[in-house]
Structure 1
Amino acid sequence: MANKLFDVAPEILIGIAIDVVVRGQGSFVAGFGVTDPLQQVYLLGALTLAIWVFESIFEFAYLVLWRNLAQDLQHELRSSAYAHVQNLDLAYFEDRSSGGLVAILNDDVNQLERFLNGGASELIQVVVTVLACGAVFFAISPQIAVMAFLPIPVILWGAFYFQRKAGPRYDVVREKVSALSGRLSNNLAGIATIRSFAAEERELERLRQESMAYVAANRHAIRLSSAFVPLIRMAILFGFLCTFVRGGQLVLEGHLQAGFYAVLVFLTQRLLWPLTRLAETIDLFERAMASTRRILGLLATPYSIRDAEQTLPDHPARGEIALKDLHFTYANGSEVLHGVDLTIAAGRTLALVGATGGGKSSLIKLLLRFYEPSRGEIRLDGRPLAAYPLSWLRSQIGWVAQDVFLFDGSVRDNIAYGRPGASEADIVNAAMAAEAHEFILRLPQGYDTPVGERGVKLSGGQRQRLSIARALLKDPPVLLLDEATSAVDNETEAAIQRSLARLAHQRTVIVIAHRLSTIVQADQIAVIEQGRVVECGTHPELIARGGSYAALWRVQTGTA
């Protein structure tokens, strides 16, 4: 505001200078006690210097402070949105592309920052300019002031009309951005598959279609915003001509001093010309509002997995797990578990076997509280899972998944992910226990070797051994193993099995396995078919029973 007030002042000084030259000792400045025309010019020169200095100081201040404010706001908004995303149910991510979420957290937040950085300050300066110039106009000539302000209602009407029309168009633009980001993210993640099928041209064409849809949506919005500028210019021309012609008449008739006439002519430009940028500002505003609606929509997304409002237990879990009449149905209506009852004593191993799609992996997700049961409950050490704070519960569980996810960082960073403050000795010991130490030393930079995005620079077996080392270093009382050896060679499988045997020592272990030879020593084996436990017992007991497990064993051992 201060910058804009000093910015308007030079036009007033020019008019006063003209008044000094024309009227001399009878000028406006003479009324303040400086009667000599030359002294009046010196005074106006000094005032001009001071005004320019202060304008520059305040411009520097508002550019730095306002832009930093915009940066702080976008940082806080992005951080808040990401914090909320981390709490959302897993089902939310299964129904949406990661590229679309990245577009909201990055591109939409940046779009809002662009408006805050430029458009919002522009609106404030326009308001200050109108008020400051209006005060001068009405002080000099109320008649000309009314004429000069006549275009402003037309300009404001046009701005609000444009805003109402542009809003839906920019909503479409933001949706097209999400679709384009999703396509790019998906294709970059699957670049090897695209090449293996020689599908580069097909995927390029699909990307072009998404990109052209984005371009078309933008063009639809641009046509509307472009029509606003000529309307503003015509309104400004009308206000300027009114001031120019009527002010000239008043000067010729002796009702207005020439210096004041100059002030009004200059200030008409200063008053109305910034309004030409109102179209650009409204354009920025509508883009920002379209982005803001998407960000606020994300922040308003509810989640069902709520944290328990209890203090953290002061001791680790024993590891006793009980599943009571457990039912689970996904949001799409697909019921995958039907009344599962199982009990695992602390320090024991339970193996889950059965055909793919039977509900075994869903059971693992329920144990981690990624989902809530539709009916029934899961108890840990005699208490429902929901009674424990999520951070504590998940700190007590180690998870080695079939599809290992490694973060883009070093080998050391990925092993220590569960214990960021772990010592070098602990990291090396965990790697040795996972039989990963030797291959790590053969890497170009040893433990400092970057693994690439999702661990792309390592083989499947190497990634799996790092995930086991990560679980060993975390040292949880409960361990969940989801097909940890399904995609490796025999030698790697043997190494992983030895690592898992060390990892399972004195822990409660639930392991999903298709290779029955890896779980014959389990304390308990449950056969799950179509979401139900159809058999349960030890390996010898189930073989002797001659049921589903025995049939699977005969198929895998070739004795069928």
Structure 2
Amino acid sequence: MTDRAISTRSLPLVRLLRHLAPQRRLVITAVICSLLNKLFDLAPPALIGLAVDVVVRGQQSLLASFGIQSVSQQLWVLALLTFVIWAAESLFEYLYDVLWRNLAQTTQHRLRLEAYDHLQRLELAFFEQDSSGRLMAVLNDDINQLERFLDRGANQILQLITTVLIVGIGMAVVAPEVALFAYLPIPVILLGSLRFQRQLAPRYREVRARAGDLASRLANNLGGMLTIKSFTAEPLEAQRLEAESLAYLESNGRAIRLSAAFIPLIRFAILFAFVAILLVGGFQALSGQLAVGTYSVLVFITQRLLWPLTALGRTLDEYQRSMASTQRVLDLIDTPVTIRSGQTPLDRRLVRGEIRFEQVDFAYPGRASLLQGFDLVVPSGATVGIVGSTGSGKSTVVKLLLRLYERQGGRILLDGRPIEQLQLPDLRGAIALVSQDVYLFHGTVAENIAYSVANPDPLAIEQAARLAEAAGFIEALPDRYDTLVGERGQRLSGGQRQRIALARAILKDAPVLVLDEATAAVDNDTEAAIQRSLDQITRNRTTVVIAHRLSTVRHADRIVVMEQGRIVEQGRHDQLLAHGGVYANLWQVQAGERLIAS
């Protein structure tokens, strides 16, 4: 996914709340605990005011009006209330801390799985247009940023709003003239916060975009380390990484400079209000217009009201960071899936394997048409080879059969049924693919051969390895089938990886086998051995062999020659040689009987 705008009607926070709907009970409980904690947290200034009132007025105090005449009894009551309030505050602080953290953890867990699951359902073109590093930044860094906000920031915002409302209402009831001075800085702070928020939002979107670019550069360089070293390009790549890191540093700096300026401005607004209340309230208390206890409460509660606003800048900073990350995550989740599964189930045990392409049209996004009115029939149980020059459309045929891309016209049928009507997992489960680009997962040799097979039989794994001519080198490995292959199989040679991939397809035992340049990375001896095995592997199943080496397909039941997305010749090996066309020319070139025209 690029940083193109994906049309949304809602703000990131509204979109996030929709995704939190399944955890509604946890959210509500956490909110209630945060509010109760803040209520008890605001009580101590009132207790201080009551204590001052008891000491100053004695039996005329507010507590005395509740029937507690003795001053000592009033102090004991205050002590008991203090204990209860502190205990309740501590209890609800523990509860909201646990609940918000649990919510943060479960949310990041669910969002990461949801985003990854959606990512797996997107078409192959999506991954070709984006970088794996940027997607990693979304799935990891952006979701972790949201987790940090839910862990702390959400509770801070709730408690700040609660403080402003409760203290503001309480002050208005007790001393409305004095409360006016406490209210004065609040509109300034809120308006300033909104203004800063609008300015911070695009800056943090830029920060997340630069973070994605940096992650993409790192992923590309780590994956291409062999090329970097072989071309002695270390200084060049270090400069490129420095440029990406500097762009990230500068975008972060612009956001930090703006957010850092917010807190000092808030402090000056708060200072004005606090000094005004200190003076105005003090003069009223001296003149008898305001009780001393009430004045004490006002001084302490003003601090409780205004000083938390100094954290507003930091909280807004975390909020904007998290919303920028949330938007990227939810934009990924909201990316439309263009290839949707059909509804018809397919029992692969009953698949005969007849494949038909009827008047198929296809073009890659942003490129000229590749297939136009393409027709191809692969009979059930037959072995069909597809050959042709690079870019002729050979591998595209396989991608369309697997529905990795969607054709623009025509029909593709498996056993007479249009493949778009079939359930996608069933369709792909009926086809075993050995791709030219072999990918082995970090794990053991056995785990890679048995990939996607539930409860594999070790004997079946060894049999598949023997058929793929892989058993010989596997037995020579330090831990045989338990040997770790490394990330992307980097501990093995290209030919060894190719043979493990072939063994993986053999163990899948699908009714349709597709070999896309499956012998491209093996030597001539290994290719000859694999060719011997193919006689057994292809028995009783439909096989499509895409090859650059013509020797790989010479024994196929039929060979299809493609040029520029069209079939120009087809027939058996001997027939095509006798025809003297494109295939015969390619054969002579590969056999060394004819030089390639310069």
- Answer yes or no: is the 8 Å Cα contact 1:468–1:499 preserved in 2: no
1:443 alignment partner AA: L
**Whole-Å separation in 2 of the counterparts to 1:93 and 1:258:** 70
Structure 1 equivalent of residue 82 of structure 2: 48
Structure 2 equivalent of residue 500 of structure 1: 534
**Whole-Å separation in 2 of the counterparts to 1:190 and 1:294:** 27
- RMSD over aligned Cα atoms: 1.4
**Whole-Å separation in 2 of the counterparts to 1:239 and 1:317:** 80
For 1:474, which of 508, 512, 518 is the aligned residue?
508
**Whole-Å separation in 1 of the counterparts to 2:43 and 2:154:** 23
The answer on 1:257 being equivalent to 2:288 is no
2:322 alignment partner AA: A
Matched position secondary structure for 1:418: coil
The runs of 5 or more residues in structure 1 that have no matched partner are: none
The CA deviation at 1:375 is: 1.8
Structure 2 equivalent of residue 509 of structure 1: 543
**Whole-Å separation in 2 of the counterparts to 1:25 and 1:37:** 6
The runs of 5 or more residues in structure 2 that have no matched partner are: 1-34
Structure 2 equivalent of residue 158 of structure 1: 192
The answer on 1:421 being equivalent to 2:455 is yes
- Answer yes or no: is the 8 Å Cα contact 2:443–2:486 preserved in 1: yes
Structure 2 equivalent of residue 555 of structure 1: 589
Structure 2 equivalent of residue 118 of structure 1: 152
**Whole-Å separation in 1 of the counterparts to 2:417 and 2:332:** 33
1:292 alignment partner AA: T
Alignment of 1:12-91 (within 5 A): 12-91=46-125
Structure 1 equivalent of residue 181 of structure 2: 147
Matched position secondary structure for 1:450: coil
Structure 1 equivalent of residue 432 of structure 2: 398
Structure 1 equivalent of residue 270 of structure 2: 236
Structure 2 equivalent of residue 299 of structure 1: 333
For 2:480, which of 446, 457, 462 is the aligned residue?
446
- Answer yes or no: is the 8 Å Cα contact 2:348–2:510 preserved in 1: no
For 1:358, which of 368, 392, 395 is the aligned residue?
392
Matched position secondary structure for 2:554: coil
Matched position secondary structure for 2:413: strand
TM-score for the superposition, normalised by structure 2:
0.91
**Whole-Å separation in 1 of the counterparts to 2:152 and 2:534:** 58
Structure 2 equivalent of residue 279 of structure 1: 313
- Answer yes or no: is the 8 Å Cα contact 2:348–2:430 preserved in 1: no
**Whole-Å separation in 1 of the counterparts to 2:490 and 2:41:** 57
The answer on 1:339 being equivalent to 2:373 is yes
The answer on 1:388 being equivalent to 2:422 is yes
- Answer yes or no: is the 8 Å Cα contact 1:468–1:500 preserved in 2: no
* Number of residue pairs aligned between Structure 1 and Structure 2: 560
The CA deviation at 1:313 is: 4.1
1:81 alignment partner AA: A
The answer on 1:371 being equivalent to 2:432 is no
Bigger shift: residues 207-216 or 241-250: 241-250
**Whole-Å separation in 2 of the counterparts to 1:448 and 1:41:** 75
- Answer yes or no: is the 8 Å Cα contact 1:308–1:387 preserved in 2: yes
Matched position secondary structure for 1:357: coil
- Answer yes or no: is the 8 Å Cα contact 1:100–1:179 preserved in 2: yes
**Whole-Å separation in 2 of the counterparts to 1:39 and 1:492:** 97
Matched position secondary structure for 2:433: strand
2:246 alignment partner AA: M
Deviations 1:161-181 (A, max 9, x none): 111111111111111011101
Matched position secondary structure for 1:331: coil
- Answer yes or no: is the 8 Å Cα contact 1:418–1:473 preserved in 2: no
Change (3 A) 1:312 1:143: farther
**Whole-Å separation in 1 of the counterparts to 2:583 and 2:182:** 91
Deviations 1:9-67 (A, max 9, x none): 11211121122222222222222222222222222122112211111111111000111
Structure 1 equivalent of residue 555 of structure 2: 521
**Whole-Å separation in 2 of the counterparts to 1:9 and 1:310:** 65
The CA deviation at 1:274 is: 0.7
Matched position secondary structure for 2:289: coil
The answer on 1:531 being equivalent to 2:579 is no
TM-score for the superposition, normalised by structure 1:
0.97
Bigger shift: residues 534-543 or 308-317: 308-317
**Whole-Å separation in 1 of the counterparts to 2:149 and 2:288:** 47
**Whole-Å separation in 2 of the counterparts to 1:292 and 1:479:** 42
Structure 2 equivalent of residue 173 of structure 1: 207
The CA deviation at 1:303 is: 2.7
2:506 alignment partner AA: L
**Whole-Å separation in 2 of the counterparts to 1:447 and 1:258:** 84
Matched position secondary structure for 1:287: helix
**Whole-Å separation in 2 of the counterparts to 1:501 and 1:19:** 100
**Whole-Å separation in 2 of the counterparts to 1:135 and 1:98:** 53
Matched position secondary structure for 2:451: helix
Structure 2 equivalent of residue 104 of structure 1: 138
Identity of aligned residues (%): 54
